[in-house]
Amino acid sequence: MSITITDVVSIIKKIIDISIVWLFIYIVLKNIKNNVKLSLIFKGVAIVILLKLASDLFGFTTIGVLLEYVIMYGPLALIIIFQPEIRNILEQLGRNQLLGRHKVLTVDEREKMVYQLVGAMSYLSKQRIGALIVLERDISLGNYIDKAKKIYADLSSDLLISIFFPNNPLHDGGVIIQGDRITCAGAVFPTSNSSKLSSKRLGTRHRAAVGITEETDCISLIVSEETGRMSISVKGELFYNLTVDDVRMMLIDELRPKQDNIDEFDYETENIENEEDIYEENN
């Protein structure tokens, strides 16, 4: 049986077709993992589908009929109720980068980047100078950069300290770092409404740090103006009251390319859920 050119072209088309579908599924699952709100929507849909399958299996007629209406009109209800979140998700899909700038850094460049960040955080903490530093990863922060003050300078601890020094016009905003360069300062981020934060009376700076990590895959570094405590937020979680070594190790682990991340770093820190002595911070 001979294979013609038509057969080869047909096979190639099928491979491309399947690859595109899998790429779409990968992007959706990746955004579900990185976005807390999208994860909640996905879990809700999964629960409804499982209940429908269970009702059909055990013959629960009434529940089955109700779930059929939910499945029929649910998508329309989700679009109406979660319209802002869906819009943000679509914007994120459009802003996704195939290769984040942090991934193209050499080992020496990453080490230098961590050294400069840790040096700035340590100084700001000792002087009790408030700061919010956001490190972009795969999801672009271009929407926030556009509304901030552009800098485009090489990353250095001295420059970060100068930006957050009291009475500096850019002191109250956040700094965004792309790769090993400071892109902008004075950036404003969405604040988190997480119940974990409301119960601990944390200020606007910490809420903004967590809020941006809920919507993107970035890393947020925070220094409290009231207490000088250092914190890091990743994937909507806040790791509070860290030491300099904690900050260094977490940055090294989070900035390491995933393929090199064989042994997971054990965060020996106090999570926000277990922190009982957080002071009120009105920064």
Four-CA torsion 177, 102, 137, 31, nearest 10 degrees: 170
Q: How confident is the model at residue 270 (pLDDT cuts 50, 70, 90)?
A: very low
* Model confidence pLDDT, tens digit, residues 81-129: 767 666 766 665 555 554 455 556 788 888 999 999 999 999 999 999 9
More confidently predicted of 149 and 194: 149
Q: Is the pLDDT of residue 161 over 90?
A: yes
DSSP 159-202: HHHHHHSTT-TTTTSEEEEETTEEEEEEE--PPP--HHHHTTT-
Nearest one of 132, 133, 177 to 151, comparing CA atoms: 177
* Model confidence pLDDT, tens digit, residues 204-252: 899 999 999 988 889 999 999 989 999 999 988 999 889 999 999 999 9
Domains of the chain, start order? 5-95 (no CATH), 101-271 (3.40.1700.10)
Residues 241, 228: Cα–Cα separation, whole Å: 9
**pTM listed for this prediction:** 0.62
Q: What is the pLDDT of residue 196?
A: 74
Answer yes or no: are the C-beta atoms of 170 and 185 closer than 8 Å.
Answer: yes
* Model confidence pLDDT, tens digit, residues 26-76: 777 766 665 666 677 777 888 888 888 888 888 888 888 888 888 888 778
Q: What is the pLDDT of residue 98?
A: 45
Residues 278, 240: Cα–Cα separation, whole Å: 9
